[in-house]
Amino acid sequence: MKLVTYLSNATERTGVIVGDRIMDLERAHAISKGVALQCSALPAEMNAFLRLGQLALSDVQSLISWFSMAESSEQQGVSVPVEGTKLCAPVPHPTSMRDGYAFRQHVEAARRNRGVDMIPEFDEIPIFYFTNHQAVFGPGDIQVQELHCDKLDFELECAIVIGKQGRNIKASEADSYIAGLMVMNDWSARTLQMKEMMLNLGPAKGKDFATSIGPWLVTLDELADTITSTPNGNQYDLAMSTHVNGTLVSTGNVKDMSWTFAQIIERASYGVTLYPGDVIGSGTCGTGCFLELNGSKVFDPAWWLKPGDVVTCTIDRLGELTNEVTLVTSY
């Protein structure tokens, strides 16, 4: 399933993609007749939907079958066309947002470009940091201010959303806590980031202004043929790419993560409860940002983003996430 949050009369609502339409989950559940459903209702807000867990996902499958056979008038009453409808971030209000550091190629290249050796601790723990879960965007404009534009960068990532509550989760069980996957772009203001990290704390202001996710949340049943099970959790064979103003600048694959999402969940949940609606990013894939590409002299002179640039991050089966950089000069 492809779960979305979309705007209807300026209100965020939860839906699922069915063909070329978005079926509204709350409205479809309310009018469907003769359908065996397990939840008394489906909420219009994504976090509330995720808290219902597998029962809600089962109901969505049943509603998709009902919708496909429903009269046209019934379909029209509970759905909108995908084309022309404003998509928000699939999870527009994450309960928390962590970002990992799981791709060895990116870490090695970034350190090599700074003239330092590969850090051995990379192989010891699947590290992550907390980013700003209140600055989340879906497809569309990314608003930045003047200081962000000094070496503004994209970061091509994959993200998961936690689908059920858990604490001290073992990697061997962690994949069952994943509601789905989505594309993620961790926007980065490099001059701000590098200055503050000289103090060995962060990243903070260099990354707290925008993270985009979307265009939808893809449940694991749609990705079964891409999954390789390992003792350390699932690997996903999903090609990744980024285009800037139509030019291909980055390629990768989710399966190249040196730490699996299951291992990151195990680390993140140690002594801490994870909740439905928590978002966890993979970290940047190899070649997945201008910082790495410029340092490796792939682009010389260096290429950084500027207002008006259009960035499209794509992951096979997860969709295209397109954003335009927009400079905000009045507040």
Q: Is 16 in contact with 26 (CB distance < 8 Å)? A: no
Classify residue 307: in a domain, yes or no: yes
Q: Which pLDDT belongs to residue 33?
A: 83
Classify residue 90: in a domain, yes or no: no
Asked whether residue 64 falls in the same domain as residue 110, the answer is no
Q: Which pLDDT belongs to residue 267?
A: 98
The rounded distance, in Å, linking the Cα atoms of 21 and 15 is 10
Along the chain (331 residues), what's the average pLDDT of each consecutive run of 10 residues?
97 98 98 92 98 97 96 94 98 98 95 92 96 98 98 98 98 98 98 93 94 98 98 98 98 98 98 98 98 95 98 98 95 70
Classify residue 91: in a domain, yes or no: no
Q: Is 23 in contact with 61 (CB distance < 8 Å)? A: no
Query: What is the maximal distance between C-alpha atoms in the chain?
Result: 66
Q: Is the peptide bond before 203 cis (omega within 30 degrees of 0)?
A: yes
Convert 170-219 into a string of H (helix), E (strand) and C (coil).
CHHHHHHHEEEEEEEEECEEHHHHHHHHCCCCCCCCCCCCCEEEEEEEEC
- The number of folded domains in the chain is 2
Asked whether residue 126 falls in the same domain as residue 64, the answer is no
Show contacts of 56-60: CB within 8 Å, 24+ apart. 57/1, 57/219, 59/29, 60/1, 60/3, 60/16, 60/25
| Sheet architecture: strand order including 239-244 | 140-144, 319-327, 310-315, 239-244, 247-253
Q: Which pLDDT belongs to residue 218?
A: 98
Classify residue 160: in a domain, yes or no: yes
Asked whether residue 189 falls in the same domain as residue 57, the answer is no
Q: Which pLDDT belongs to residue 330?
A: 77
Give residue 24's domain range.
Answer: 2-81
The DSSP element (H or E) to which 33 belongs, if any, is: none
Which residues have a Cβ under 8 Å from the Cβ of 225 and sit 6 or more positions away?
none
Q: Is the pTM of this model over 0.85?
A: yes
Classify residue 88: in a domain, yes or no: no
Q: Which pLDDT belongs to residue 97?
A: 98
The rounded distance, in Å, linking the Cα atoms of 118 and 108 is 6
- Of the candidates 224, 136, 128, 241, the one whose C-alpha atom is nearest the C-alpha of residue 186 is 136
Of the candidates 50, 81, 112, which is a domain's last residue? 81
Q: Which pLDDT belongs to residue 34?
A: 84
Asked whether residue 43 falls in the same domain as residue 165, the answer is no
Classify residue 322: in a domain, yes or no: yes
Q: Which pLDDT belongs to residue 215?
A: 98
Which residues have a Cβ under 8 Å from the Cβ of 7 and sit 6 or more positions away?
13, 85, 86, 87, 88
Q: Which pLDDT belongs to residue 44?
A: 98
